[in-house]
Amino acid sequence: DADVTQTPRNRITKTGKRIMLECSQTKGHDRMYWYRQDPGLGLQLIYYSFDVKDINKGEISDGYSVSRQAQAKFSLSLESAIPNQTALYFCATSGPSWGGGPDTQYFGPGTRLTVL
């Protein structure tokens, strides 16, 4: 089974609808992240969480909210979806590196969201 899972994998919705994307991980990591990817724009950080009580805005948080329900679960919500939120959304996790090395982020398979 995959260490980082995302549901749904694909979603088509209409403008104005509320959408929730879910992420679960079995890696035991404390840190979780949400990114969006648009063609030619790389990955942009939306929100990140270093533990259950810690939520931080990333580069492009407007129009999004998150919930860290447990160490293993981190959800991203679009309160009122708009067409320019059509993108590929990735969840990632990271944890401490033994020996003090840099963290490594592990990505989920992605959710392809289309807002009509």
Partner 1 sequence: QKEVEQNSGPLSVPEGAIASLNCTYSDRGSQSFFWYRQYSGKSPELIMSIYSNGDKEDGRFTAQLNKASQYVSLLIRDSQPSDSATYLCAKNSNSGYALNFGKGTSLLVTP
State the residues that interact with partner 1 by CB under 8 A. Answer: 31, 33, 35, 40-45, 48, 50, 56, 58, 88, 90, 94, 101-110
Q: Least CB distance from residue 67 to partner 1, whole Å?
A: 18
Q: Are 31 and 94 in contact (CB under 8 A)?
A: yes
Q: Least CB distance from residue 105 to partner 1, whole Å?
A: 6
Question: Between residues 65 and 105, which has the closer beta carbon with respect to partner 1?
Answer: 105
Question: Between residues 15 and 96, which has the closer beta carbon with respect to partner 1?
Answer: 96
Q: Least CB distance from residue 81 to partner 1, whole Å?
A: 21
Question: Between residues 64 and 90, which has the closer beta carbon with respect to partner 1?
Answer: 90
Question: Between residues 45 and 72, which has the closer beta carbon with respect to partner 1?
Answer: 45
Residue type, 49: S
Positive or negative torsion for Cα 34, 75, 109, 4:
positive
Positive or negative torsion for Cα 36, 19, 56, 71:
negative
